[in-house]
């Protein structure tokens, strides 16, 4: 048993400073799988080490995607390890051999959680979802279902279901993204509107969006150069628009 603080410190550096220097990295399988099952930030941090063991040392983890799916909760858009998680999730969901129901469940859950996400996270996750559609065209039924549910009460998708295969995501539609097209932040509304059109075959590069912060968004808006907006289209002639009225006798614009 490790203290939570130490657990996090070890997992942050494990993939980079420990595993590459071990003669048998597979000795860390039990440690990482237990950490992955704890939940919360510790599970997110264990993903890096697990990815190396799966990718380079043939680790088989039967319920890996089910556990990854369970990590998607409202806090995922707010934790400081958000960039690390979505970078790895992008790698794990890149395989074209994944079943459509699994990818659809991830798309639907990310979209539902996006309804309460901050603008900085939305500008990252919507292109992330678009990339999933490009890799897995069978999931586009979520976008092009004309008679899909209009709100949460009619949606067949089961948000509380822990198993992606039982969530009924493929029977649903992405009304959440349609709702985000009316978002108060204009950049979010613009990005969400992309799904109204045919997606290009080239994937969006989300690497520069993973660590986007609210401060950067605010700084961008402050530094934006506004165009000169004409406030008066007709030249003023008097205090109330008339040159020789009674007000002109007693008041002057000078």
Burial string for 107-118 (b: 16+ CB within 10 Å, else e) reads bbbbbbbbeebe
Q: Residue 152 pLDDT more than 80?
A: no
State the Cα–Cα distance between residues 186 and 28, nearest whole angstrom: 46
Q: Which of 179-193, 204-218, 220-234 is predicted most confidently?
A: 179-193
Confidence label for 109 from pLDDT (cuts 50, 70 and 90): very high
| Per-residue pLDDT at 224 | 78
Query: What average pLDDT does this structure show over 119-148?
Result: 86
Nearest CA among 23, 49, 21 for reference residue 34: 49
Banded pLDDT at 239 (limits 50, 70, 90): low
Asked whether the predicted pLDDT for residue 237 surpasses 70, the reply is no
The pLDDT assigned to 93 comes to 87
Q: Show the 3-state SS of 87-118.
A: HHHHHHCCCCCCCHHHHHHHHHHHHHHHCCCC
pLDDT category of residue 68 using cuts at 50, 70 and 90: confident
Give mean pLDDT, residues 57-64. 78
CB 129 within 8 A of CB 108: no
Mean residue pLDDT across the chain: 83
The C-alpha atoms of residue 60 and residue 134 are separated, in whole angstroms, by 27
- Give the integer Cα–Cα distance in Å for 180 and 192: 6
Provide the pLDDT for residue 195: 87
Closest C-alpha among 126, 125, 36, 52 to residue 86: 125
How much is the pTM? Answer: 0.76
Per residue in 7-53, pLDDT (tens digit) is 888 888 888 888 888 888 888 888 888 888 887 778 888 888 888 88
More confident residue, 236 or 191: 191
pLDDT at 248 over 80: no
pLDDT score of 124 more than 70? yes
User: How far from the centroid of its chain's Cα atoms is residue 11's Cα?
Assistant: 23
pLDDT at 252 over 70: no
Q: For residue 225, how many other CB atoms are within 10 A of its CB?
A: 4
């Amino acid at each position: 048993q490790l203290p939570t603080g130490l657990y996090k410190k070890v997992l942050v550096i494990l993939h980079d400073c420990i595993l590459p220097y071990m003669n048998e990295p597979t000795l860390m399988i039990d440690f990482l799988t237990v950490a992955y099952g704890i939940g919360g930030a510790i599970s997110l941090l264990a993903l890096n080490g697990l990815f190396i063991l799966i990718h380079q040392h043939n680790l088989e983890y039967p319920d890996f995607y089910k556990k990854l799916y369970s990590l998607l909760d409202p806090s995922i858009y707010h934790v400081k390890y958000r960039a690390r998680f979505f970078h790895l999730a992008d790698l794990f969901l890149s395989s074209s051999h994944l079943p459509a129901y699994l990818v659809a469940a991830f798309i639907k859950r990310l979209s539902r959680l996006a309804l309460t996400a901050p603008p900085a996270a939305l500008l990252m996750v919507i292109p992330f979802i678009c990339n999933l559609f490009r890799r897995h065209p069978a999931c586009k039924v979520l976008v092009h279902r004309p008679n899909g549910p209009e709100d949460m009460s009619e949606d067949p998708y089961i948000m509380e279901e822990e198993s992606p295969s039982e969530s009924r995501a493929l029977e649903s539609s992405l009304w959440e993204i349609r709702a985000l097209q009316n978002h108060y932040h204009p950049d979010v509304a613009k990005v969400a509107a992309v799904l109204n059109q045919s997606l290009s075959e080239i994937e969006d590069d989300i690497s520069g969006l993973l660590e986007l912060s609210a401060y950067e968004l605010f700084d961008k808006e402050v530094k934006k150069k506004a165009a000169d907006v004409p406030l008066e289209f007709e030249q003023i002639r008097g205090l109330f628009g008339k040159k020789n009225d009674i007000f002109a006798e007693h008041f002057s614009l000078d």
